[in-house]
């Protein structure tokens, strides 16, 4: 059997039509197939590789840390310098009171940890989330997912969860003194890039303050520079009580985090002790990689260029078949009239050497979330491949 057959036979599948491209290596903006074909990566492993694939500083950090030590013990017991260094670095980049980092294995685990933290800290159990939100695929994060089609098969899910309309002022009345936390994406990603208004975000913050409810902002996909500022919440002039990070946090290594004030985080330490347990969370190699990636992103001033790159992309990505384009920084949804057309364009783009895909709750939208290191030439190249792909699939 060849690798493709072995993949289909022995690697658990999540759909009956995986892309099944066999890749050999990846560098910067490009991924290379075993057949030598070059692909321009316009989705960065779904908002993960903000500094591109195999950034030399990240590779060096991984090699150095792997040679010193890898797994030593479950999370939280030993002082591990890569963990301390990354948590300190993040705390220094965050506004008060976000000063204490719990590292996890994934974004979903960060969501789980934050939901548990809110229950413990407030002594309440009701949670409010929003329609069309995505916070992960475990049962807790599925319970707060804002789409019945995707969560229905797993009922019964957690009780006490309410889903409100996102960006709707009247919905905020539902937040009350029984609500442990409100969890919202700073920009809804899987909904097809939907940003709330600044006024609404400020009203949400105010309502949480009035009711003693923790505000959890999920920046697992939209954070870490993708929206044009290091933290997406900066654009609303608010600070959450708990911040969720993942994806780009590990610069290509598996990693998530929930971050809060030390005083709030302290509630995981007693009655019962070990309020959230993880064996591999905060793995030293992932922390070393994440820190190197974060430094490369910030010191390379890539975030400063995000909005001008967005403008360039919007200027050149024009076609009559495109119904709408929503972009917040380099998080872009290109809307077509149907999933059918979108899927044909995606397949054509891939055939023509550009990696893209669709959104979970917006299947008629093509996803563009490239590494933030993308150059102006590569943006022009991407626009050209996409518009030509649309022409090709529309040509009878």
Ligand X SMILES: Cc1ncc(COP(=O)(O)O)c(C=O)c1O
Residue closer to ligand X, measured from CB, 146 or 246: 246
Angle at 99 between CA 97 and CA 103, to 5 degrees: 135
Shortest CB 128 distance to ligand X, Å: 16
Is 227 among the residues that bind ligand X (CB under 6 A)? no
Torsion, Cα 389 341 221 330, to 10 degrees, reads 40
Question: Cα(247)–Cα(47) distance, rounded to whole angstroms?
Answer: 6
Q: Pick from 246, 250, 282, 290 the residue near ligand X by CB under 6 A.
A: 246
Q: Which of 41, 112, 126, 218 is close enough to bind ligand X by CB under 6 A?
A: 218
Of 107 and 240, nearer to ligand X (C-beta) is 107
- β-strands 357-359, 100-104: how paired? unpaired
Q: Which is nearer to ligand X, 226 or 309 (CB)?
A: 226
Give the list of residues 6+ apart from residue 152 with CB closer than 8 angstroms, or none: none
Nearer to ligand X, 190 or 378 (CB): 190
Q: Which of residues 64-123 bind ligand X (CB under 6 A)?
A: 106-108, 111
Please identify, using beta-carbon distances, which residue of 215 and 389 lies nearer to ligand X: 215
Choice between 222 and 268, CB closer to ligand X = 222
Choose, by CB under 6 A, the member of 220, 334, 354, 369 that binds ligand X: 220
Residue 153: CB atoms within 10 A of its CB come to: 7
Q: 332, 368 in Cβ contact below 8 A?
A: yes
What CA–CA distances, in Å, run from 258 to 12, 215, 242? 29, 12, 7
Handedness of CA 194, 229, 371, 115 (dihedral sign): negative
Residue 278 CA to residue 104 CA, distance in Å, equals: 7
Cα–Cα distance, 312 to 322 (Å, whole number): 17
Beta carbons within 8 Å of 8's beta carbon, 6+ residues apart: 18, 20
- Which conformational region is residue 47 in: left (phi greater than 0), alpha (psi within -120 to 50 degrees), or beta? left
- Closest approach, Cβ 106 to ligand X, in A, equals 4
Task: Please list every residue from 307 through 336 that binds ligand X, using CB under 6 A.
Answer: none
Nearest to 306 by CA among 217, 234, 214: 234
Residues that contact ligand X, how many (by CB under 6 A): 15
Q: What is the signed CA dihedral for 321, 327, 331, 335, rounded to 10 degrees?
A: -20
Contact map string, positions 34 to 53, toward ligand X, x by CB under 6 A: ------------x-------
Which residue has its beta carbon closest to ligand X?
Answer: 107
Looking at residues 354 to 393 of the shown chain, list those that interact with ligand X (rule: CB under 6 A).
Answer: none
Of the two residues 134 and 258, which places its CB atom closer to ligand X in the complex? 134
CB of 113 to ligand X, least distance (A): 12
CA-based radius of gyration for the chain: 21
Q: Where does this chain touch ligand X (CB under 6 A) — which range of 93-101, 169-177, 217-225, 287-295?
A: 217-225
Which of 41, 185, 241, 378 is the binder for ligand X (CB under 6 A)? 185
When binding is defined by CB under 6 A, the residue of 221, 267, 278, 364 that contacts ligand X is: 221
Q: Which is nearer to ligand X, 166 or 378 (CB)?
A: 166
Positions 126 through 165 that interact with ligand X (CB under 6 A)? 134-136
Using CB under 6 A as the criterion, which residues of the chain lie in contact with ligand X when the complex forms? Answer: 46, 106-108, 111, 134-136, 185, 189, 218, 220-221, 246, 256
């Amino acid at each position: 059997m060849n690798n493709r057959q072995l993949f289909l036979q022995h690697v658990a599948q999540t759909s009956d039509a995986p892309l099944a491209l066999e890749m050999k290596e990846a560098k910067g903006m490009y991924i290379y197939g075993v057949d030598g074909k070059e692909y321009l990566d316009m989705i960065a492993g779904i908002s993960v590789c903000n500094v591109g694939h195999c950034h030399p500083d990240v590779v060096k950090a991984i090699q150095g840390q792997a040679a010193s030590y890898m797994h030593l013990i479950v999370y939280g017991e030993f002082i591990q310098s890569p963990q301390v260094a990354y948590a300190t670095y993040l705390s220094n980049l965050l506004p008060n009171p976000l000063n204490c980092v719990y590292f996890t294995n994934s974004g979903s685990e960060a969501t789980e940890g934050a939901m548990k933290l809110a229950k413990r800290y407030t002594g309440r159990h009701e949670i409010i989330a929003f329609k069309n939100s995505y916070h992960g695929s475990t049962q807790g994060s599925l319970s707060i997912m804002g789409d019945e089609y995707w969560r229905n098969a797993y009922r019964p899910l957690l009780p006490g969860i309410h889903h409100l309309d996102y960006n709707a002022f009247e919905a905020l009345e539902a937040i009350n003194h029984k609500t442990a936390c409100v969890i919202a994406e700073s920009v809804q990603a899987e909904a097809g890039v939907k940003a709330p208004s600044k006024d609404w975000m400020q009203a949400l913050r105010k309502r949480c303050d009035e009711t003693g409810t923790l505000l959890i902002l999920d920046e697992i996909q939209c954070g870490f520079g993708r929206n044009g500022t290091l933290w997406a919440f900066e654009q609303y002039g608010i600070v959450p009580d708990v911040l969720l990070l993942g994806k780009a946090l590990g610069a290509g290594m598996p990693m998530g985090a929930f971050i809060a004030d030390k005083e709030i985080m302290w509630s995981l330490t007693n009655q019962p002790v070990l309020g959230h347990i993880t064996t591999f969370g905060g793995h030293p190699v992932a922390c070393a990689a994440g820190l190197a990636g974060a430094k490369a992103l910030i010191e390379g001033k890539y975030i400063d260029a995000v909005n001008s790159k967005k403008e360039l992309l919007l200027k050149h990505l024009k076609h009559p078949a495109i119904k709408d384009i929503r972009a917040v920084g380099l998080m872009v949804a290109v809307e077509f009239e149907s999933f059918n057309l979108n899927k044909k364009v995606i397949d054509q783009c891939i055939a023509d050497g550009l990696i893209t895909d669709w959104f979970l709750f917006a299947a008629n939208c093509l996803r563009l979330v490239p590494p933030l290191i993308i150059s102006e030439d590569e943006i022009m190249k991407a626009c050209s491949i996409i518009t030509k792909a649309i022409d090709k699939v529309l040509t009878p």
